[in-house]
Structures are given as structure tokens and as C-alpha cells.
Structure 1
């Protein structure tokens, strides 16, 4: 079987988890959490994502921000199948131009392939790939995690949300009777497997080597009801322009993040970064705003990742971590960890080490 790598990395390697994405999943997550009586808005506001910002079409959030909100939502709702519900609540209109392109596409298979090609514009938090299988010409859609070491609960959420959204959008756009031949998840069997069968309407396997959805050729070749070659082609031209802009933005963010990470515990000033890029502070600030972020938020993200990496090393004291991550004192470290995870560094370390032992 040949699966095309996602566009985030032409070599087919894992997506960079420092990238920024559209917050579609978070928007739907807020709605589903509301239905469970859980208000995620204070958490989003704490992370600089208030309601006004969340309504912005230009908003991008980091994988770290997205993962943190998902993790906290799972803790607050105590709903292990939250990913299924978020995926089942979605609509193509949330994908903007990409959603319109999919509706104007030729067949379901081609629409999915278009979605894979432009996945960086959809707000996806998994790495999609697709291709024709070795048997019966079945069409196979695969969802890999951007980071194999991701929190298991967040990983399960993202896998569930990914396939639940594909099922829901296919039924809305093509036929309510749509069902794949099989769905496979890499995580262990859940306590309520019946929920999966009810949603997917096909055999569901757990503990599989990869997250996959197998679609019969007859469904894959189903024409899209709204297909329109002219509209499809013109929309792709606009999507290509957006992709080029996203690549430029991502290059900037990666260069800045690497610069900060290599400089820790000292953080380069914003003025110093502007000089390194041979530009003015005003221009660099404007470019970061176009990426949906700020230098301060970028530095915080790098520091957060560094702290999480250091906490996984039991031989390091909190004093060591404070110094290596560039905090003024342990009190500042504790405040930051409380802001990111809602817990203390000691408790977070225990939780992370338990997760590592669980996956070994």
C-alpha cells in the first residue's frame, strides 16, 4: 500500500509539534464541554485565547496550547470518549475555503486526498496520509500522531476526533448511510467499545499497529453531490497561496524557537532577534502577529517544552530545572507550571513519569 506523506514534511517524517494550527478542534471542544456543564473559557483566557480572539479567522494556536486545553478538558469532563463527540459535532464550513473545495471536488476519495494535501490549513492535530490498499482496491486513510511520546489520553482524543470528523463530514457531504469497512486504533480497548460501533457502523479494532480507516472502493468512488470543476480549480489556487504563506510563517517560527531554545537559560531580547533577522522590531512584530502569536508567547512555549523535558529526568532538582529553563527562582517556575498544567512541578513530574512507565 502506498500512503502519501502529509504536506507538513515532504520526507514523511513526524510533523513539528511547534507548528501553529487553526483552533477548529478547540472551538468545537468548548461547545461539547459546555454541554457537559464544563466551562473551558477561563482556561482559554488564561492562555491568551479569550472569546474575541477565538472568533478570529486569522487565529493560530500552538500544538502545546491545543494539547494543554484538551488534557484539561479530559480531566474536567471525565469523559474518556470526548474525542468521538468533538469529531461528531463538526461541519465542513468550519474549514473555510478548504471545506468549500472538498464539497466541489469530484469523488469522496479525491476530496479526502485534497484534504490530506492541504491538511495544514484545516486545523488538523494529526498527520494524515492516504492511498489505495493492496487488497480489493480499498482506500486507506491513516492518522499518525505528531509526537509518539504524546500524553496517551491526548493521543487517544486526537485519534478519535480525527476519524469521527471524517465519518461525520462524509455523511453530511455524501450520504448519511456512509460507513467504512473497518476502523483501527493504536490505543488499547476502551471500557465502552459499543460507542465506537454505534458511530462508525463497522468493525472497530483496538491495539492495532496504526490508526487507520479502510473505505471500500464503491464508497471511495462516490461522486460528491456539489462537484463543480471550475469552482474546485479556482479554490485550489487560493489554497496554494495560503499554503505558501503558511510555509513562510512556519519557517520564521521555527528559526525563532530554535534560537530561543539554544540560548536558554538566557532569552535573547526581541531587539536582538530583530537584528539577527536584519529587520526592524516593528516588522518582526507584525510578521509574528500574522502567525497569530507574539514573541512572548513563543518564548513561553519553548520554556514550557524545556521544563517538561527536564521534569522527566529524576536526577534533576527543581533548582536545577529553574536555572536551566531560565526562571528567576523556583517560585517563578511553580507559577508557570501551575499556569500551564494546573498543578505543581512535583505533581506534574510524578504524573509524567507514571505515563512513561505505562507506555514502556
Structure 2
């Protein structure tokens, strides 16, 4: 299969402390959970996202924040197919400029290619690629996880949400009768197949080699109702500018994270970071605000990742971990872990070791 690749350097969990994606999925997830009588606001607050922040157009959230909220939402709703519901509740206007570009595009196939090209601006939490399939000249859309070792519950949610949103948006854009030729999931068969068949309206397979959605050539060639070449071209210019800005922001976040990680247990002061970047504190603070974060939040994210890495080393005591991660004492470490995970360091360590197969 010849694929239109996603970004050459897609976001992944290795950069989980950086604010890397728009929170479109989380915003929709909150609405869907509300409809089921589940309030996710306390969960959002626990990972540093309150209602005011969530309303910000400039907000970017990390994969860690997104994954934590998704995992807890599935637990609270008890809905193993929550990803399908969230995907089915999506709409193009939530994607901002990118959504407008897709509506003004030429054909459904070309619009999907545009979405793949600018996926880092859509809030995607999977890595998209697309191209001609090997069978019947179908147009195939593929979704890969940014980290193959991702929590299976979160992984299933993300893939289901991804394909459900594509089908939902295609029906809204070209025809309510749209249906793929086939949808394939790499995860094992669920206990109930009916929700998948009802949503996709086509054969659905599980345990496949990859997560794929195939579209019949006739549907792929369908003209977009809002086709407007001039609007499309001008919108792409703005999207390209946004991508360039995002790369600059990501570079800044990565440099700062590396600097903090290399300096722990004592993180460099904000003033020291400004001097290292040959800029004023005011300018650096503004640049971080444009990234949707603060230096304090970035330092905490790096420290949190360090704690999680150290907890996987059974030979280290909590005092050792507190000292190496830059906490004043064990009590400060316990408070931080409770804030991040809602549990104690001891229980978190037990769960992490069990999940990685280091204990029975």
C-alpha cells in the first residue's frame, strides 16, 4: 500500500510532558460523559486542566494528560466502547481552520489526505497515513498508535474514536449514506460486535495486522459540497503558518524539558532559563503561554516523569526517589503522587511493576 505519511516526527509519549495536541477529543469526551451522568471536571483538574483552561483556543495538552483522562472516563462510565461514542459525536467545526479546509477541498479522498497532512493541528492522538490499497483500488486510511506499549484500554479508545470520527465526519460532509468497504482493528474481538456494525455499516474485522479503514473508489471520488479552490488555497497558507509556529513551540518545549531533566534534582530557575535563551523572562513566559503551558507546569511534568521512571526500580526507597526527583522529603513526594495519580507512591509502584510484568 502506498501511503501518504503523517508528520515526519509525530508526537508520542516520549514527549509526554510537552503540550503537544489540541484537546478536541477531551472536550468532546466531557460532553459525552456528561450525557451519561459522569462529571469529568474533577479528573481534568487532577491533571491540571480546569474549565477555564479547556475553553482556551491556544490550549495544547500532553499525551499523558489525555491518556489519564481517557482511562478514567472509561472506568467511570463503565463503557468499554466509549471511543465509538466520542468519535460519533465529532464535528468539523471543532477542528477550526483545518475543518474549514476540509469542507472547501475537492474530493473526499483529497480531504482525507489534507487531514493526514495537517494532523498535528487536529488534535489527533493517533498517527494517520493514507493511500491506495492493494485490493480493488480502495482508498485506505491507517491509524497507528504513537506508542505500541500504550495502555490497551486507552489504545482501543483512540483507534475506535479515530475511525468513528472519520466515518461520522464523512457522512456529515458528503452523504449520510456513506459507509466504508471494511474496517479492521488490530485488537482482539470485543464481547459485543453490534455497536461496531451499527456505526460503520460495513464488515468489521478484529485481530487484524493493522488498524485500517478502506473506502470504495466511488466514495473516495465524491466531490465535497463546499468545494472552493480559492478558499482552500488561502486556508492552507494559514495552516502552513500554524505548523511552522508549532514546530518552533515544540522545539522550545523540548529544549527546556531536556535542560530540566539533565539538572534534576535541582531544576534551573526561570531566570536562568531566560538567560540561556538570551531573552527576557517576560518574552520567555509569553512564548510558553503561546504553547499553552508555563515553566512551572513543564518542570512538574519532567519531575513527574522522573518519579514514574524511578518507581520502576524496586531497589530505590521513597526517600531515594524524593531526593533524586527534587522533592524536599517523602511527604512532598506523596502529596505530588496523590495529586497526579490519586493514589500513594507505594500503590502506584505496585501497579506499575505489575503492569510491566516485574511482579506476579
**Matching residue of 1:2:** 2
**Matching residue of 2:357:** 357
- Specify whether residues 202 and 227 from structure 1 end up closer, same or farther in structure 2 by C-alpha distance, changes over 3 A only: same
- Specify whether residues 184 and 241 from structure 1 end up closer, same or farther in structure 2 by C-alpha distance, changes over 3 A only: same
8 Å contact kept, 1:14–1:127:
no
- The alpha carbon displacement at 1:247 in A equals 0.8
- Specify whether residues 77 and 14 from structure 1 end up closer, same or farther in structure 2 by C-alpha distance, changes over 3 A only: closer
- Specify whether residues 318 and 271 from structure 1 end up closer, same or farther in structure 2 by C-alpha distance, changes over 3 A only: same
Q: 5+ unaligned residues in a row in structure 1: which ranges?
A: none
- The alpha carbon displacement at 1:249 in A equals 0.6
**Matching residue of 1:222:** 222
**Matching residue of 2:209:** 209
8 Å contact kept, 1:87–1:164:
yes
CA distance in 1, matches of 2:192, 2:352: 25
CA distance in 2, matches of 1:348, 1:152: 18
**Matching residue of 2:50:** 50
8 Å contact kept, 1:15–1:146:
no
1:317 maps to 2:321: no
**Matching residue of 1:250:** 250
8 Å contact kept, 1:185–1:206:
yes
8 Å contact kept, 1:15–1:127:
no
Q: Could you report, residue by residue, the CA deviation over 1:271-299 in whole angstroms, capped at 9, with x for unpaired residues? A: 11111111111110000001010001111
**Which shows bigger deviation, 87-96 or 12-21?**
12-21
CA distance in 2, matches of 1:14, 1:69: 15
**Matching residue of 1:167:** 167
3-state SS in 2 of match to 1:252: helix
CA distance in 1, matches of 2:29, 2:243: 26
Q: Could you report, residue by residue, the CA deviation over 1:101-130 in whole angstroms, capped at 9, with x for unpaired residues? A: 000101111000000111111111111111
- Specify whether residues 13 and 5 from structure 1 end up closer, same or farther in structure 2 by C-alpha distance, changes over 3 A only: farther
3-state SS in 1 of match to 2:2: coil
**Which shows bigger deviation, 49-58 or 281-290?**
49-58
Compute the RMSD of aligned alpha carbons: 2.0
- Specify whether residues 4 and 314 from structure 1 end up closer, same or farther in structure 2 by C-alpha distance, changes over 3 A only: farther
Q: Could you report, residue by residue, the CA deviation over 1:47-101 in whole angstroms, capped at 9, with x for unpaired residues? A: 3322222112111111111111112212221211111111110100000110010
8 Å contact kept, 2:13–2:63:
no
- The alpha carbon displacement at 1:346 in A equals 2.1
**Matching residue of 1:259:** 259
Q: Could you report, residue by residue, the CA deviation over 1:12-32 in whole angstroms, capped at 9, with x for unpaired residues? A: 999844452111111111111
Mapping for residues 112-261 of structure 1, pairs under 5 Å: 112-261=112-261
- The alpha carbon displacement at 1:322 in A equals 1.9
**Which shows bigger deviation, 104-113 or 35-44?**
35-44
8 Å contact kept, 2:19–2:292:
no
CA distance in 2, matches of 1:252, 1:57: 20
Aligned residues: 358
1:290 maps to 2:314: no
Q: 5+ unaligned residues in a row in structure 2: which ranges?
A: none
CA distance in 2, matches of 1:212, 1:303: 37
3-state SS in 2 of match to 1:21: coil
